[in-house]
């Protein structure tokens, strides 16, 4: 039986963060997350309730921003992207926490149709994706859900995109990556939380000192989804 995915939202826009900033992309948002980040702007994706199940067309015909979800397999997802006339060839699978799902079937199917794929995960679940998928780990440390960032997720990452508010956030990242520094292949990106000036100044300074990369949420600056 084909793998089923709970889709909360699907839309076409520009990737606003990280290495792929500026690239046209289709975002597929999956329902379900137990990490518990206090600043999360998609808390409507956290819980999976049977009464919120609906049809895919209801999810994709307008911006969702609700806890509703549709259960679809990879074939159905690709067909819906084609029905909507999406032209972007880069697909970002996010959440919620997308790695609560086995994403190998979906990412392989997308690659076979000529798409590239990117996964945005907290690193608290095993990353099950196609070998060619680009994995962005945004490590969530000491969150309400009590989950630990996995070593294997960090080592699979192509990009480690870390939210920064204060120096403590830099210290938390160092504690994660220093034991793995000889094995890590990922580009390190620091992303100021909520575009706060002090956080931006701190992230910029550290990126210069360490030759890391600054990730600004450009979609919020230019006012797109």
The tens digit of pLDDT for each residue in 6-64 reads 999 999 999 999 999 999 999 999 999 998 888 788 899 999 999 999 999 989 876 66
- pLDDT(221) > 60: no
Does 217 have pLDDT greater than 80? no
Model pLDDT, residue 220: 62
What b/e string do you get for 6-38 counting C-beta neighbours within 10 Å, with b at 16 or more? bbbbbbbebbbbbbbbebebbbbbbbbbbbebe
Q: How many other C-beta atoms can be found within 10 angstroms of the C-beta atom of residue 81?
A: 21
pLDDT at site 147: 87
Domain ranges of the chain: 4-222
Write out the two tokens for 193: 């939380």
Of 68, 64, 74, nearest to 117 by C-alpha is 74
Binding-site residues for substrate, in ranges, read 14-16, 29, 94
Task: Express each pLDDT in 149-200 by its tens digit.
Answer: 999 999 999 999 999 989 999 999 999 999 998 899 999 999 998 777 899 9
CA–CA gap between residue 213 and residue 97 (Å, rounded): 24
**Angle value at C-alpha 94, between 93 and 96, nearest 5 degrees:** 145
pLDDT of residue 131: 97
More confident residue, 52 or 216: 52
As a whole number of angstroms, the distance between CA 46 and CA 32 comes to 5
The annotation places the binding site for [4Fe-4S] cluster at: 33, 37, 40
> Band of the pLDDT at 225, cuts 50, 70, 90?
low
| Positions at the binding site for Mg(2+) | 42
β partners of residue 28: 10, 93
Question: Residue 222 pLDDT > 90, yes or no?
Answer: no
pLDDT at 1: 77
Reply yes or no on whether the pLDDT at 223 is more than 80: no
Q: How far apart are CA 225 and CA 223, in angstroms?
A: 7
- Homologous superfamily of 4-222: Aldolase class I (3.20.20.70)
For the chain, first and last CA: distance in Å? 34
* Known binding positions for S-adenosyl-L-methionine: 39-41, 96, 138-140
pLDDT digits (tens, 9 = 90+) for 68-114: 999 999 999 999 999 999 999 999 999 999 999 999 999 999 999 99
Known binding site: residues? 14-16, 29, 33, 37, 39-42, 94, 96, 138-140
The whole-number pLDDT of residue 144 equals 80
How many CA atoms lie less than 13 Å away from 137 in the CB half-sphere? Answer: 29
d(CA 46, CA 176): 25
The two beta strands, 70-73 and 4-14, are antiparallel
């Amino acid at each position: 039986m084909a793998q089923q995915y709970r889709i909360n939202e699907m839309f076409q826009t520009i990737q606003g963060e990280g290495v792929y900033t500026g690239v046209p992309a289709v975002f597929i948002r999956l329902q379900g997350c137990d990490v518990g980040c206090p600043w999360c702007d998609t808390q409507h994706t956290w819980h999976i309730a049977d009464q919120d199940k609906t049809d895919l067309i209801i999810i994709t015909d307008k911006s969702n921003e609700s806890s509703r979800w549709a259960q679809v397999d990879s074939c159905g997802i690709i067909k819906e992207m084609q029905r909507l006339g999406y032209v972007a060839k880069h697909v970002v699978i996010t959440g919620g926490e997308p790695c609560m799902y086995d994403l190998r079937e979906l990412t392989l199917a997308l690659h076979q149709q000529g798409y590239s794929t990117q996964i945005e995960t907290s690193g608290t679940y095993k990353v099950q994706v196609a070998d060619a998928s680009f994995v962005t780990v945004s490590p969530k440390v000491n969150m309400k859900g009590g989950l630990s960032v996995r070593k294997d997720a960090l080592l699979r990452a192509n990009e480690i995109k870390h939210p920064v508010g204060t120096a403590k956030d830099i210290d938390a990242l160092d504690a994660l990556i220093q034991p793995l520094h000889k094995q890590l292949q990922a580009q390190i990106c620091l992303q100021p939380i909520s575009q706060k000036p002090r956080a931006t100044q701190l992230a910029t300074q550290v990126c210069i000192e360490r030759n890391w990369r600054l990730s600004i949420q450009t979609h919020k600056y230019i006012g797109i989804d």
